[in-house]
Homo-oligomer: A and B are copies of this chain.
């Protein structure tokens, strides 16, 4: 799992708290979390390609959420950053070498049992991530500290472009 996923999720939560008619530049988000600006920009790019955020160039430009926070799942973010590839890659060694010859015709026809089990597990993981939205996480943070959203929003307003 790439580290950028954590960054992206936190940025989405932040963006859900600032006024939507005020795009936030990558540099501001990076400064807020003390991250390398250019690299965070790259991650936000990926979010943009997935439609999770929308970007705008030039002065007064930056990023804002591309759709409502409750419509952005953690799975969406992971897919945008890490790609859609599965964690478990079946390279088919089951049928390589003599093993292929030893496996019967019936065995060759059916899928790989190992791959199936790992797919199931990964599906569980995906389902759970798909069930959690950015809005859910933002709500959890707000519950722990009701004033947090306001403070975050104020920080971005004060430290925005001059």
Contact = CB atoms under 8 A, between A and B. Distances in A.
Interface of A: 1, 3, 5-7, 9-10, 13, 31-35, 74, 87-91, 93-94, 96-99, 102-104, 106-107, 110, 113-114, 116-118, 120-122, 124-125, 127-129, 132, 136-137, 140-141, 144-145, 147-148, 151-152, 155, 159
B125 A6 contact: no
Nearest to A117: B132
B141 A117 contact: no
Contacts of A35: 93, 96-97
Nearest to A1: B87
Contact of A32 (B1, B9, B99): B99
Nearest to A120: B128
B10 A106 contact: no
A93 B144 contact: no
A72 to B, nearest CB: 13
A116 B102 CA distance: 46
A8 to B, nearest CB: 10
